[in-house]
């Protein structure tokens, strides 16, 4: 069959007007709904000039909010990284009772509203909650304090690493691990020398998405935060507060940080996806012969 | 290294993969576990390796040189395991793949960097891949990958080599070459080797002994010639290659098919029992005339000249199709054409009486 320059079989091509319509709808939609708002963020942030933009960062509360966001992400991401690798390892390599329940539970944070997860933490750790009074006896305050913010962030970002790794590890199977073990490697050596190198791009991808969500989370964090400026406000909460004060330059300046993070995440994600495809295809390569049998 | 397996069973849920298996493997032997998929051969190999644990039973043992290894983890059994799909470490060079088993040893037992290099280089020359050390697995062909996998397993100087369908993913020509190479290697190293395969030709060609397995049980153990010429069961003769089956009845200690009578090894089989008569295609003759009465009329339906022998398909009077292999000279002599009416008779037959256990 003859092919055009793009390698598409001519017989399979849709009429030009269909392609034109579908492509323009997609581009218009993306431009209106995604690119335009992102542009507005930067536009508004720099509306009163660069110095006004930079002044927004001199604020003590702004610095505190950036610090809180980094702290929450800095704790939540490594914890969820460890959990994600452990959970996907368990799911991909072992058979055990309750495996499907575990898979379902990992998705829980995706399924329920972040506000609810915040409220759950208040019920458990709040002053009227089950553990709140007991913890207070030891001088530990969870809700309206840093631990609450961290817990809420962990909760909403819980699935990202695991969700990324489970299919990847299932795809790769456990033969390489068995080979390593039969050659005398212990569990630790097998993990560091065989398993981790095989999933490293998947891990990075998961961490990237996890981090983006951890830094951007609003709902769950807003419930457990005291909403005190310079206290437990994270960046998204701080932006909200500034905006409610009609301080739009400062609000958009702060927002530009998150928007910038988003753009970086997107670029990183694209690069990693390419690497990840190589990771999967090289594992597929060895199984194609089996399929053709 | 002699390996003894005693009363091993293994089930996965309601599926029985191994049903009370006992087997002794001699030191330095190359033995094949041969059977169709689902016969339990791979499970048996994994039990020996320690990758599966057998169903708990006080009488079941896996002995390596008389020592029960039930509580020994895989890494302590010193087994070299080779997988069907190679399971090479993709992100490591060929050199590092082979060196892996040496590098992961505890510091006190780990060879020096120089010793590791020497060992890897000698293994690379053993597998005829000198100069390939810096390549990565995906830059190698299937046959080369499997040789690297074998070298990697040999690096730890295993007490036993376990090969799980090692040539199963390769094409026919590479397969045959590697098979001969493996036999040569075994003769050189004399490492006790257990080869799992579903390819009867492979098993019969390379092994010292063949273990034919079917439905979680061992059907027969014996030297390749033994298994081929004295199959112990219908399954074995059927699995070992093309064979014609005729259904007859027992009469006075003989299996009777039309005018043909085949003697039984056991004369005590009662009359009237059903008899299955197995005849291999090259154990039959074709004649233009029915010289003896012990022959069956047949019609030629297909002649295939591609091969050392000509393969002739024939249709019997009862509409059953059979195959007969004759030499090219015989084919010329007979001047066979499609639809020719001929007579066939078995020269050598084997009778099994399904409902009667000896």
Query: Looking at beta carbons, which residues of chain A come within 8 Å of B105?
Result: 184
Which residue is listed with tokens 């030009």? A16
Residue of B nearest to A284 (CA): B85
Residue of B nearest to A189 (CA): B104
Q: What is the dihedral of CA B10, B12, B16, B20, to 10 degrees?
A: 10
Give pLDDT < 50 ranges for chain B.
358
Residues 124-183 of A with CB under 8 A from B: 175-176, 178-183
A284: helix, strand or coil: helix
Which residue is listed with tokens 């016969």? B39
Give me the pLDDT at residue B254, please: 82
A287/B100 Cβ within 8 A:
no
A287/B89 Cβ within 8 A:
no
Other CB atoms closer than 10 Å to residue B234's CB: what's the count?
A: 17
Query: In this complex, is the C-beta atom of A16 within 8 Å of any C-beta atom belonging to chain B?
Result: no
Distance in Å, alpha carbon of B175 to nearest chain A alpha carbon: 14
Which residue is listed with tokens 């030891």? A138
Nearest Cβ partner for B81 among A179, A285, A286: A179
Instruction: Report the candidate in B177, B187, B229 with the shortest Cα–Cα distance to residue B207.
Output: B187
Give me the pLDDT at residue B249, please: 86
Give me the pLDDT at residue B129, please: 93
Residue of B nearest to A174 (CA): B87
Q: Contact, A91 vs A166, CB < 8 A?
A: yes
Residue-wise pLDDT for A105-122, tens only, equals 888 888 888 888 888 888
Give me the pLDDT at residue A57, please: 83
Q: B52 φ, ψ to 5°?
A: -125, 145
Query: In this complex, is the C-beta atom of A289 within 8 Å of any C-beta atom belonging to chain B?
Result: yes
pLDDT band at A286 (very low <50, low <70, confident <90, very high): very low
Give me the pLDDT at residue A10, please: 57
What lies within 8 Å, CB to CB, of A206 at 6+ separation is A81, A84, A160, A161, A162, A163, A164, A165
Give me the pLDDT at residue B352, please: 87
Which H, E and C letters describe B11-54, residue by residue? EECCEEEEEEEEEEECCCCEEEEECCCCCCHHHHHHHHHCCCCC
DSSP B146-211: HHHHHHHHHTT--SEEEEESTTTTS-HHHHHHHHHHHHHHHHHH--EEEEEES-HHHHHHH-SEEE
Instruction: Report the candidate in B175, B186, B188 with the shortest Cα–Cα distance to residue B208.
Output: B186
Q: Contact, A209 vs A270, CB < 8 A?
A: no
Query: In this complex, is the C-beta atom of A291 within 8 Å of any C-beta atom belonging to chain B?
Result: no
d(CA B63, CA A265): 56
Instruction: Report the candidate in B270, B272, B232, B275 with the shortest Cα–Cα distance to residue B255.
Output: B275
B272's tokens? 């009237």
Other CB atoms closer than 10 Å to residue B72's CB: what's the count?
A: 14
Query: Looking at beta carbons, which residues of chain A come within 8 Å of B51?
Result: 178, 182
ipTM: 0.85
H or E element that contains B228:
helix B224-229
Mutation choice for A interface testing from B89, B105, B136 by most A CBs within 10 A:
B89
What lies within 8 Å, CB to CB, of B271 at 6+ separation is B249, B250, B251, B252
Cα angle for residues B87, B38, B15 (degrees, 5° grid): 110
**Number of A–B residue contacts, CB under 8 Å:** 77
Residue of B nearest to A181 (CA): B75
Q: Contact, B155 vs B101, CB < 8 A?
A: yes
Decide if pLDDT at A7 tops 80.
Answer: no
Distance in Å, alpha carbon of A136 to nearest chain B alpha carbon: 48
Share of chain B above pLDDT 70, in %: 97
Other CB atoms closer than 10 Å to residue B294's CB: what's the count?
A: 15
The average confidence (pLDDT) of chain A is 84
Decide if pLDDT at A124 tops 60.
Answer: yes
Residue of A nearest to B77 (CA): A182
H or E element that contains A251:
helix A248-291
Nearest Cβ partner for B169 among A184, A193, A290: A290
Residue-wise pLDDT for A15-51, tens only, equals 888 889 999 999 999 999 888 988 888 888 888 888 8
Nearest Cβ partner for A181 among B75, B88, B169: B75
Query: Looking at beta carbons, which residues of chain A come within 8 Å of B101?
Result: 183-185
d(CA B229, CA A35): 78
Nearest Cβ partner for B100 among A180, A285, A287: A180
pLDDT band at A11 (very low <50, low <70, confident <90, very high): low
Residue of B nearest to A176 (CA): B87
Length of chain A equals 293
Distance in Å, alpha carbon of B149 to nearest chain A alpha carbon: 9
B216: helix, strand or coil: coil
Decide if pLDDT at A249 tops 50.
Answer: yes
Instruction: Report the candidate in A84, A88, A233 with the shortest Cα–Cα distance to residue A146.
Output: A233
Give me the pLDDT at residue A197, please: 92
A181/B74 Cβ within 8 A:
yes
d(CA A42, CA A255): 8
Please say whether the dihedral angle defined by the alpha carbons of residues B294, B297, B303 and B304, taken in this order, is positive or negative.
negative
Q: Give me the mean pLDDT over the A148-158 stretch.
A: 90
Cα angle for residues B316, B317, B323 (degrees, 5° grid): 0
């Amino acid at each position: 069959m003859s092919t055009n320059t793009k390698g598409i079989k001519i017989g399979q091509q849709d009429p030009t007007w269909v392609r034109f319509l579908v492509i323009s709808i997609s581009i218009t939609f993306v431009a209106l709904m995604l690119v335009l708002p992102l542009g507005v963020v930067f536009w508004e942030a720099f509306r009163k000039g660069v110095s006004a933009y930079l002044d927004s960062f001199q604020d003590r509360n702004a610095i505190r909010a950036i610090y809180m966001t980094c702290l929450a992400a800095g704790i939540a991401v490594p914890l969820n990284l460890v959990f994600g690798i452990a959970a996907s390892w368990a799911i991909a390599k072992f058979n055990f009772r309750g495996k499907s329940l575990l898979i379902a539970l990992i998705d829980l944070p995706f399924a329920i509203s972040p506000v609810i997860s915040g409220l759950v933490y208040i019920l458990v750790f709040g002053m009227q909650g089950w553990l709140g009074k007991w913890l207070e006896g030891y001088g530990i305050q969870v809700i309206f304090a840093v631990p609450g913010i961290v817990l809420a962030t962990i909760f909403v970002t819980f699935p990202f690493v695991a969700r990324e790794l489970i299919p990847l590890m299932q795809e790769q199977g456990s033969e390489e691990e068995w080979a390593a073990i039969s050659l005398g490697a212990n569990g630790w050596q097998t993990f560091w020398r065989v398993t981790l190198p095989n999933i490293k791009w998947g891990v990075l991808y998961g961490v990237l998405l996890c981090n983006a969500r951890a830094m951007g989370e609003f709902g769950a964090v807003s419930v457990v935060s005291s909403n005190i400026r310079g206290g437990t406000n994270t960046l998204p909460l701080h932006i909200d507060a500034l905006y409610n004060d009609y301080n739009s330059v400062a609000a958009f300046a702060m927002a530009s940080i998150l928007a910038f993070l988003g753009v970086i995440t997107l670029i990183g994600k694209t690069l990693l996806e390419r690497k990840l495809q190589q990771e999967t295809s090289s594992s597929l390569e060895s199984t194609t012969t089996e399929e053709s049998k | 290294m002699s390996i003894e397996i005693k009363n091993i069973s293994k089930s996965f849920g309601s599926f029985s993969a191994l049903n009370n298996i006992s087997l002794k493997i001699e030191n330095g032997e190359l033995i094949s576990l041969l059977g169709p998929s689902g016969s339990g051969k791979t499970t048996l190999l994994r039990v020996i390796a320690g990758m599966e644990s057998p169903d708990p039973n006080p009488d079941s043992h896996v002995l390596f040189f008389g020592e029960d290894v039930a509580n020994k983890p895989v890494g302590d059994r010193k087994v070299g395991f080779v997988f069907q799909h190679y399971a090479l470490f993709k992100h490591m060079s060929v050199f590092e793949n082979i060196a892996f088993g040496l590098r992961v040893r505890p510091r006190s037992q780990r060879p020096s960097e120089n010793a590791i290099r020497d060992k890897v280089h000698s293994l690379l020359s053993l597998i005829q891949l000198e100069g390939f050390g810096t390549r990565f697995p995906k830059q190698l062909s299937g046959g080369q990958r499997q040789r690297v996998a074998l070298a990697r397993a040999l690096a730890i100087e295993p007490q036993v080599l376990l090969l799980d369908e090692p040539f199963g993913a390769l094409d026919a020509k590479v397969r045959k070459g590697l098979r001969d190479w493996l036999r040569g290697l075994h003769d050189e190293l004399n490492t006790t080797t257990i080869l799992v395969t579903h390819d009867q030709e492979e098993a019969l060609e390379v092994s010292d002994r063949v273990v034919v397995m079917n439905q979680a049980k061992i059907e027969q153990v014996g030297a390749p010639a033994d298994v081929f010429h004295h199959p112990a069961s219908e399954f074995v003769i059927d699995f070992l290659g093309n064979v014609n089956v005729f259904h007859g009845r027992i009469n006075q200690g003989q299996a009777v098919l039309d005018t043909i009578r085949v003697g039984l090894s056991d004369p005590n089989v009662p009359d009237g029992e059903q008899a299955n008569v197995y005849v291999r295609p090259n154990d039959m003759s074709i004649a233009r005339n029915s010289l003896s009465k012990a022959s069956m009329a047949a019609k030629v339906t297909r002649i295939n000249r591609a091969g050392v022998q000509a393969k002739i398909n024939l249709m019997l009077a009862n509409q059953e199709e059979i195959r007969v292999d004759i030499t090219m000279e015989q084919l010329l002599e007979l001047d066979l054409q499609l639809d020719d009416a001929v007579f066939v008779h078995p020269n050598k037959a084997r009778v099994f009486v399904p409902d009667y256990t000896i």
